[in-house]
């Protein structure tokens, strides 16, 4: 493998990483809005003593 090909591979690798970081997101989260909280509220003293 020659030096120019190695430099080309490194440049391509880095440019793809930059494009992935700063490009638009490709998340496939559903657009369902805010969900109500249905859990238990925090009670001081329960399960906090390790």
* pLDDT number for residue 49: 55
- pLDDT at position 36 is 76
DSSP annotation of 42 reads: P
Would you mind telling me the total number of residues written for the chain in this entry?
50
| Whole-number pLDDT of residue 17 | 95
Predicted local distance difference test score (pLDDT) of residue 40: 76
pTM of the entire structure?
0.49
7-42 pLDDT per residue, tens: 999 999 999 999 999 998 877 777 787 777 777 777
Kindly state the tokens that stand for 11. 């440049």
| CA–CA separation, 42 and 44 (whole Å) | 6
d(CA 14, CA 6): 12
- HSE-CB for 34 with a 13 A CA cutoff: 2
Sign of the alpha-carbon torsion through 24, 25, 26, 32: negative
């Amino acid at each position: 493998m020659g030096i120019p090909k190695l430099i080309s591979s490194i440049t391509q690798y880095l440019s793809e990483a930059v494009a992935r970081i700063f490009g638009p997101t490709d998340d496939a989260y559903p657009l369902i809005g805010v969900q109500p909280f249905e859990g238990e509220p925090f009670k001081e003293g329960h399960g906090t003593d390790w």
